[in-house]
Amino acid sequence: MIKEPTAMQKYLAELVGTFMLVWIGPGAAVVAGLMGVKGLADVLAIALAFGIAVASAIYVVGKISGCHINPAVTIGLAVRGSFPWKDVGPYICFQLAGALIASLLFVACLGTQASTLYALGATTLNSKAGVTIPMGMLGEAIGTFFLMITIMGVAVDSRAPAGWAGWIIGMVVAGVIITLGPMTGASINPARTFGPYVGNLLFGGPCPWGQFFLVYCIGPIVGAIVAVFVYDFIAPQESSSA
């Protein structure tokens, strides 16, 4: 009989999964800057790195914690009733911790230039393209909507084919980054932005906290919540349990 993971094992799995995501994803953005990769090649490389990171994390820790690795996903599932509210706080805390550890260790490996020159891969609005905070909030909400409705379809819905969730979710993340990345950096995950922002606060890189709370927290959370209700409306199940 398979032993049910303890609460602490689930929390640590979220930390490990988010660490994988932020080390590989934003880390790829730092390396692209270091190598002078620009334009579409830059976006594609970062999107691929995120897709691989998400897929890997799902297959590693999904069976332990569900691999939310994203506060917006955790809140969306809790609002739906698929995840206990008592675990929302610990999940988010460990997700944020995993993201921060990844950013700090990237500085340990590359030095403070990872922050001062390459912002630890932090997401910020593309003000040069005219992207405003309301526009960024909408973009992040839409991007997270695509992520969350995919999670609902391939991971939460019991009718989904087994074994494909990791790659499908990873590829959706990559696709969203290709489209949304040039506008907002395509966070679609408050923890993904939190880690680099705190790292930048410590080591001298940019960390526009006004954008963080409005664009990179509220936008994704709203998008995730809308997605779970839209999915349940268009694809009702006999049971609402995950």
- Amino acid 1: pLDDT: 65
Place of tokens 């992207």: 131
Quick one: pLDDT at residue 242? 40
What pLDDT shows up at residue 178?
A: 97
CB 99 within 8 A of CB 191: yes
DSSP letters for 47-61: HHHHHHHHHHHHHHH
Question: Encoding tokens for residue 149?
Answer: 């409705």
Q: What confidence category does residue 80 fall into, taking pLDDT thresholds of 50, 70 and 90?
A: very high
Across the chain, what does the average pLDDT equal? 95
CATH code for the part of the protein at 7-234: 1.20.1080.10
Where do runs of H (alpha helix) occur along the chain? Answer: 7-35, 40-65, 71-80, 88-110, 113-116, 133-151, 165-184, 190-203, 209-213, 219-234
The reported pTM is 0.94
The whole-angstrom separation of Cα 206 and Cα 123 is: 10
Residue 19 scores a pLDDT above 90: yes
List Cβ neighbours of 29 (8 Å cut-off, separation of 6 or more).
46, 118, 121
Give the C-alpha separation, 88 to 13, whole Å: 14
Name the DSSP class of 148. Answer: H
Q: Model confidence at 241, in pLDDT bands (50, 70, 90)?
A: very low
